Structure 1
C-alpha cells in the first residue's frame, strides 16, 4: 500500500503503513508545503518578512542536517518519517545470488526499437526517392509521347533537376576512399548516418541533431 515507483524497483515498502498513517503522511508532505506556498503572501501581513525568512531558513537547515545524519547513520530518511515511525522494509526477504533483469530487458527492447526506427526511416526515404524518380520518368515519357506522336521511344538524357544533381553530388563527396560515409561536421566515419534533405551532405545522427545550418554550404538543416 502506498509504495513509490522507486520503492517498487527496490522491493521496499513502509512497515505498518495503515490508512490513517497514509493520510497523515500525505498531509505533512504535500498539503503543508502547498498551503505554505499558497498563503505565503498572506502570512507576510502578520509576520515580518525577515522573521519568516529566518523560520524558513531554519527549517531547511534542520532538513539538511538530518539528511547528512541519515546518510551517515541510516534509520529514518526524513524527519516526517521519524515522527510517523515509517521504516522501509523489504517486501520479501532478499536472497543472495538473484538478479533482476527487468530494467536491462526494458533498455534492450528500447535500443532495438530505436534501431528499428532508424532502419525504417532510411527505407522510407529510399522508397520515397525512387517513387519520385519513377513518377518523373513517367511524366517525361508522357510528354515525349505527346510531342513525338509515339513513333519512337524517348531517350532519357536529363532526369534530375539541378538541385537533385547537387544533392547526389554532395552525397558522393561525403564518401571516403574506403567507401564509408564521413560526417561533414566531425570529419569522422558517420555513426548512424543522416542526410540533410536540403543539400545532401552526410552527418552523424548526433551532429545532425544539434545543427541549425549545414557546415559545408550554410543551408538550413531540414529534418
Structure 2
C-alpha cells in the first residue's frame, strides 16, 4: 500500500471491491422498497420513468454520502474515503464531486434516454448516424472499463474509469492494523454448498415413492384378508384407498377397496411392489388394475 505524506494509505483492492458491491446492494434495496410502495398502483409510472427514478435515487444517495463525507455508503462502512493522488493532502474537491455526479448519474441517464432524445430531433438521415456514434462510444467505454479493471487487478489504485479520469483514489484515513482473515465461514459455506450439490445429484436417483411404501409396510404391517367383491360397501366406493378423497375414475385391484385412476397407476409405476395401503393386497401386474365392476346381489 502506498503511504501519503499525512499517513493516509491507498485502500486494499479487496476493500474497494467490497465497497462497490455494498453500494450496488444499497441502491437495489432502496429501489426494492420504492417498488413495494407502488406495488398495488395500477399505472406504469415506474416502468415509464425508470431512468429518471434511477438517477434520482443515485442523486439522493450521493447527496448524503459523497457530497457530505467524501465517501460512498459502502466506503463509509469499510472506513474508506476518496482522496487525491499520491502526495496530495486533500480529499475530494467540490469540482470533483460534481463531475463525479455528472459521470455516474448524468451519463447513464443520457444513455438510457438516448433513443427518445434522438427521436425528438426529427431530422432525416441524422438518427442513424447518431445511433452509430452512440454505439461506438458505448463500445469504447466498455473496452476502456475492461482495461482499467485489469490494471486495477494488477496494480491497484483506480477501481473505476471515473476515478482515473477525476484523479481520485479510495484511501484509508489512517494506517490500518494487520488484516486478520478467517476462513471458518468460507469453509462452512463451501461444505454446505458441496453437500447441497450432492443431494441435488443423488435425490433424483432415489425412488422416493418406493422407499416410502416399503417403510410403511415395514412399520405398519397388515394381514391380507381376501373378501369377495359382493362385500364392497358404500364406504369403500366413496373414498380412495390412497388419497382418501372421492375416487376419480374408480379402479380396483381385486380387493374391496377402490382407488383413483391416477393414484393407483402412478404409485404402481413408481413402485411395482405396491400393495393395497389398507389391506396389503398385492398387485401381480398392470393388467390387474381394472375399472370398478359392481356386483349387485338380487334380493331374495
**Normalised by the shorter chain, which TM-score bucket?**
0.3 to 0.5
TM-score, normalised on structure 2? 0.33
- Structure possessing the higher relative contact order (Cα contacts under 8 Å, 6 or more residues apart): 2
Kindly name which structure, 1 or 2, has the bigger radius of gyration based on alpha carbons: 2
